Amino acid sequence: MLVLVVVLSATPAAADGIARYRISGDVLPESHAASGFYQSVVHEEAGVVTVRVEIPAVPVGTGGRGFVAARPGWVAAPPEFELPRGLSRQLKRGLDAYSRATAVLQWVSRSVQHDPEDLGPQDAGAVLRRGRGRCSGLANVATALLIEAGFKARTVSGLLVADGAVTPHRWLECQLPGAGWVATDPTIGFWVMTPSHVAFAQTVMSVPHVEVLAGGESVKGLPWLDGRPIRPDRGSQLVCRIVNERTGAELVAVLSAGSGDERRAVLDPEAEFSKLLPGDWQLVILDERRVVARRTLVLGPATAHSVVVDVRSSESS
């Protein structure tokens, strides 16, 4: 008899989103990848490309606990730009990198209003003084504040294809320890992107022709902060452990989700999975290539499960 002890800690679930576009024009998008945003571009003919945008439902998953400041030499914040006093006080609490950067984004969402009709200058200083700005203004302010807080950050220019309209748009990416460049759109939420975003290598000055080949759902089921969705930095943890003695071929635990995420680990005597988004997962135990156990697990907030399977059968349902 094989006993699997499943220990879970979780955050709310999310779903992948995928979209495909055919874009034609003089300036075209290019392949681009960051945590939370993957874009692949295939050139069909001169001036025409097919774009696939995927928003993987995975947590940010920063590696280190401590904040690591950017090294000197990275792009600096605008001249005479500094952190507002209120934000500066928040960042002196010994926060880890993810929490520190999130605090900056949260401060921007509370202090700067997104106003698509704003006609003023969109540089970080001017938008911060007015307390309002277009998408480019919010991205510029958040980027400048992140840089001033010690992070590497950069703005990204592109398009937003939503509600039957195609509009120039701007968001940003911030480098977090252990996670690399992480994409986030300050007009939507925290560390959140959608399949409606299309990234360009240069600033989009005129809107190209865009044909939607396949639409995708935006990321759903994320937790919320200040009324906005936020992608968590940690996912569920799953531990499978053999508690009885066993000899022979090693057992392999295979954990898979409907989004295509699949993990494998040897039960020796336990297998651990981390950074899992909560939801429905299929757990299969293999003895070489033979399935000896199969279970559907629902990873929910602060839940715990234990599963008992008999490895003498060819497959357990």
Domains of the chain: 2-12+234-309 (2.60.40.10), 17-218 (3.10.620)
Q: Is 116 exposed, middle or buried (0-12, 13-18, 19+ CB in 10 A)?
A: exposed
Residues 222-239: pLDDT tens digits?
778 888 988 888 777 788
The H-or-E segment that residue 183 falls in is strand 180-184
Residues 167-202: pLDDT tens digits?
999 999 999 988 889 999 999 999 999 999 999 998
Side-chain-facing half-sphere of 112: CA atoms under 13 Å:
34
Residues 44-74: pLDDT tens digits?
999 999 999 999 877 887 444 445 444 433 4
* Calpha distance 225→203 (Å, rounded): 30
- Work out the number of other CB atoms within 10 angstroms of the CB of residue 33: 14
Q: What is the model's pLDDT at position 4?
A: 54
- Work out the number of other CB atoms within 10 angstroms of the CB of residue 57: 24
- How many whole angstroms from its chain centre is CA 274? 15
Strands 270-276 and 236-241: antiparallel
Is the full-model pTM beyond 0.75?
Answer: no
